[in-house]
Amino acid sequence: MLYRRRKKRKQITIMTDFMTPKQRSQTMSKVRGYNTKPEKLIRSHLHRQGFRFRINSPNLPGKPDIVLKKYNAIIFVHGCFWHHHKGCKKSNLPDTRNEFWKNKISGTVMRDQRNISDLTKQGWRIAIVWECGTQKKDDLENIIKELSEWIIEGQSKKIELSGR
C-alpha cells in the first residue's frame, strides 16, 4: 500500500475592516490619552504606599502622567503600541497603511525623547512604566516595588520598567 504525503499549505487570512471609515474614526476618537487603566493602577498602588503626586501636569514638557515634586521624580506610563516598546509583541505595526503608522509612531517616539531630554535638563528624574508590565499581577507588584525604591532612593536619573 502506497501512502501519499500531502503538503501542508500555509493559510493566510486577510481580514478586511468591518467598519466604515466614519465608524473607525469614532471608535479611535474614544481611545483615551490620559486616565488609562495602566495609569490608574500605578497611581492607586503608589497612593496606597503613601506617595502624593500631581497628574498630567500641563506646565512640564510632555504633560507627565505622575509628578512627585517632593522626590523630584516623574513617571510616564507608556502604551506599548503608541510609544513603540521595542521587543514587545504589542508594539507591532498594523499591516494596513504601514507608512502612515510608521510616521505616526516614530513621531511619538521622537517627541518622547525630546520631552525626556528637556525634563532631565530641568533636573527631573524619569521613570517609564510600560503597559505590558501592568497586565499580570506579579509583574505589576514587582514594578511597584522597584518604582517605590527608585522614588525613595533618589540616585538614578532614569529607569524603564516592563513585564518582559
Q: In whole angstroms, how far apart are CA 44 and each of 24, 51, 140, 144?
A: 32, 10, 12, 10
**What CATH number is given to the structural domain containing 148?**
3.40.960.10
| β-bridge pairing 158-161 and 73-78 | unpaired
* 40 in a structural domain: yes
Cβ-based neighbours of 61, under 8 Å, separated by 6 or more: 114, 115, 118, 119
Task: Note whether residue 65 is domain-resident.
Answer: yes
Which pLDDT score, from 0 to 100, does residue 9 have?
A: 58
C-alpha cell at 101: 503608522
Is residue 82 over pLDDT 80?
yes
Check whether 98 has a pLDDT greater than 90.
no
Q: Does 17 fall in a domain?
A: no
- Asked if the structure places residue 7 within a domain, the reply is no
Residue 28 lies in a domain: no
**Predicted pLDDT of residue 6:** 59
pTM metric for this prediction:
0.80
* Percent residues over pLDDT 70 in the chain: 88
Residue 3: inside a domain: no
For residue 21, tell me if it sits in a domain. no
How much is the pLDDT for 93? 82
User: Residue 110 in contact with residue 117, Cβ under 8 Å?
Assistant: no
| pLDDT value of residue 43 | 94
Edge-to-edge strand ranges of the sheet holding 125-130: 54-55, 66-68, 73-78, 125-130, 158-161
Structural domain boundaries, residue 94: 35-161
Give the separation between CA 136 and CA 140, rounded to whole angstroms: 6
Q: pLDDT tens digit string along 10-49?
A: 555 554 567 788 887 787 777 767 788 999 999 999 999 9
On whether residue 95 sits in a domain, the answer given is: yes
Report strand pairing: 125-130 vs 158-161: parallel
pLDDT digits over 137-151, tens only? 999 999 999 999 999
- Total domain count for the chain? 1
Question: SS3 of 129, please?
Answer: strand
130, 163 Cβ separation under 8 angstroms: yes
